[in-house]
Amino acid sequence: MSPHELTLEGTEAGKAPTRPGRSVGLVRRALPSTRTARVIASLSVLVVASLTVFLTWGVDGHWDYALPRRAEQAIALIVVGAAIAVSTVVFQTLTHNRILTPSIMGFDALYTLFATTLVFFLGANSVETMDPWIMFSSTTVLLLAGATTLYRWMIGDGSRGLYTLVLMGVIAGTLFGSIQSFMVRIMDPNEYDSLLDQLLPSFGALETDVLALAAVVMIAGVAVAFRFARTLDVLGLGRERAITLGVDYRRAVTWLLMLVAVLVAVATALVGPVTFLGLLVANLAYQVTRMHRHVITLTASILVAAVALVLGQALLQHVLHFNATLGSIINLVGGVYFIVLILKESRA
Amino acid sequence: MIAVDGLTKSYGTATVVDGVSLTLPDAGVTSIIGPNGAGKSTLLSMVSRILGPDAGTASVDGVDVFSASGREVAKRLSVLRQDTHMTARITVRELVEFGRFPHSGGRLTPDCRASVTSALSYCDLDHLAHRGLHELSGGQRQRAFVAMVLAQDTRYVLLDEPLNNLDMAHATGVMRLLRRLADERDKSIVLVLHDINYASAHSDRIIAMRDGAVVADGAPAEVITPEALEDVYGMPFTVHRLGDDLVASYFR
């Protein structure tokens, strides 16, 4: 029997061969790419629309005052959104898990611990008056150093596997969390009040030059992610297949985890921890693109993140009149979406 | 030629592959047989770079498998793993296109597209090319992975138990396909098999392993004998000649 006959059993029997294979191929092949183009185009239109709404809603003639301030805020939102989106997509590809975010590696916990330690030892006053440059760069460097040490130590000779790494990250996160809650317990209540301000993500006042630095780092990081896009496609097939297709697995994973660390550090140092944003935008991006190509999913996730944050902030300012924070809205929407995802995964 | 020299792997005190040295030819079908835990898959995994060895070397046409760049090795050696499960939702054609990654780095050239198309039709998957991989039956999916390996266009193809979970029709289809690859395209096919009669019917050479070492190595007529098989598996065998085939019987 030739292999050809093998297909003539079961449900596949004779269905496709009734039409010539090549023309079916052409028709079906054209579909996904035009669909993808349409999705990316619609998302771009949505980004422009939300930016327009955000920049012009209720300006009442004070253009020269409102516009620069709002533009700066919009840039901050996009920098944070892009960094979180790209880091989450990369992290989820590496771990083959769509409900993980880099925060599981203890990033948020490390940031929280750092902020608490500062207030604890230096006092709320000196922290609040600290130069934002110093604050931003020291936070970024600390998060990076923490992640680097942790990863280098955990990856070791590469034989322990990525899940061990993730689990050790969870344990490290719990440790940071415990130390932090111990400090909070013996802290002056007034200082704790001021600490809370820092621990909730806020897109309020940002220093221009800090923002510029963050933007540069974010653009560089996203560029690296796009350079790795094709390798990421192969990594999505799993470790063993990636190796047999010629990916130097350990090197690629180490570099990509460092990239994730840089992007998360920038976003967290800029606005504080935004746990669920990445989960939300990455999964929405997969859902609308239905693609495995990272060039597409990365682009889509950045656009989705920009829409979510810019539109969210506009609604927060004009509909809710600042009666909530963007962070709490993200966590509410993200949390609900997370539960939906888990329910869907458990049924699949 | 694949040259393996003193490859060793142990887990704790258990040595799974114990200083295996052998050379694999640059053409034909070579089957590796042996009982569970003999170290067949572990040996193959080390040559495939999926598992780091504790000692020993392996080279493919002179390229050291463990120190050369992944891409250089992947241009010479392709691997089909036991597990054809896939989390990514991709089509058959997209899967086969991944086979070109070592050559093109993911940017498909016209040459790549041509070799993907020819791999698909060689495995008779033209009409399934735009189906999702998850929609296929086990046998079809196995053929899709063979097509990917074919698109990778390497001289050496390693397969770890490619007949797992396939019924007789599909298993025979896959074996015939591999035989054709060796005969028509001059490839060297090395596969781990549990069914000794498939090994007997389709191989040019059979390597038998037990307890992490090679215990028999030669043409099917030399390895498919009651004495040799009993030595490998530790149970009685009778061997019949049916037409051209040597068939081992061990069911009673």
- pLDDT for A79 equals 92
pLDDT for A33 beyond 50: yes
In a domain, A193, yes or no: yes
| Measured CA angle at A315 (ends A107, A83), to 5 deg | 30
pLDDT along chain B (252 residues), means of 10: 93 90 93 92 92 91 91 92 76 92 88 91 89 86 89 93 86 91 93 93 94 93 92 92 88 81
d(CA A267, CA A215): 10
In a domain, A321, yes or no: yes
Mean pLDDT confidence for A103-125: 81
In a domain, A2, yes or no: no
d(CA A71, CA A219): 18
Specify the pairing of strand B14-24 against strand B2-11: antiparallel
CATH of the domain at A200: 1.10.3470.10
- pLDDT for A160 equals 61
In a domain, A97, yes or no: yes
Alpha helices in chain A (DSSP H): 3-6, 21-56, 63-95, 107-122, 124-128, 132-155, 161-185, 189-199, 208-227, 229-235, 239-244, 249-271, 275-289, 294-318, 326-347
In a domain, A30, yes or no: no
Strand order in the sheet with B28-33: B77-80, B156-160, B188-192, B28-33, B205-210, B213-218
Closest by Cβ to B88, choosing from A10, A237, A248? A237
In a domain, A139, yes or no: yes
- pLDDT for B136 equals 87
What is the CA A244 to chain-centroid distance, rounded? Answer: 29
d(CA B36, CA B40): 8
Q: Which residues in chain B are contacts of A5 at CB distance < 8 A?
A: 173
Cα atoms found within 13 Å of the Cα of residue A30, Cβ hemisphere only:
5
Q: B129 vs A9: CB contact, 8 Å cut-off?
A: no
Q: Higher pLDDT residue, A128 or A85? A: A85
Interface membership of A159 toward B (CB under 8 Å):
yes
Closest by Cβ to B106, choosing from A6, A28, A230? A230
What percent of chain A is predicted at pLDDT more than 70? 84
Q: Higher pLDDT residue, A331 or A216? A: A216
Q: What single-letter DSSP state applies at residue B209?
A: E
In a domain, A158, yes or no: yes
Mean pLDDT confidence for A40-68: 86
Mean pLDDT confidence for A297-317: 90
The pLDDT tens digits of the residues spanning B187-209 come to 999 999 999 999 999 999 999 99
Would you say the ipTM is above 0.85?
yes
Mean pLDDT confidence for A143-163: 68
The pLDDT tens digits of the residues spanning A248-263 come to 988 888 888 889 888 9
Mean pLDDT confidence for A319-332: 76
pLDDT for A162 beyond 80: no
A317 contact partners, CB below 8 Å, separation of at least 6: A57
Mean pLDDT confidence for A213-226: 93
Q: B128 vs A16: CB contact, 8 Å cut-off?
A: yes
Domain total in chain A: 1
Specify the pairing of strand B55-60 against strand B63-64: antiparallel
In a domain, A5, yes or no: no
Q: Which residues in chain A are contacts of B83 at CB distance < 8 A?
A: 240
Specify the pairing of strand B205-210 against strand B213-218: antiparallel
Alpha helices in A207-325 (DSSP H): 208-227, 229-235, 239-244, 249-271, 275-289, 294-318
Domain that holds residue A174: 42-54+62-347
pLDDT band at A152 (very low <50, low <70, confident <90, very high): low
pLDDT for A14 beyond 50: no
- pLDDT for B6 equals 92
pLDDT for A299 beyond 70: yes
Q: Which residue has the tokens 């037990």?
A: B210
Q: What's the whole-number average pLDDT of chain A?
A: 79
Q: Which residues in chain A are contacts of B170 at CB distance < 8 A?
A: 6
Question: Which domains are seen in chain B, by residue range?
Answer: 2-76+154-249 (3.40.50.300), 83-153 (no CATH)
The pLDDT tens digits of the residues spanning A64-110 come to 878 888 888 899 899 999 999 999 999 899 888 888 888 877 777 88
Q: Which residues in chain B are contacts of A245 at CB distance < 8 A?
A: 74, 98-99, 101-102, 152
Q: B176 vs A237: CB contact, 8 Å cut-off?
A: no
d(CA A166, CA A172): 10
Mean pLDDT confidence for A135-151: 78
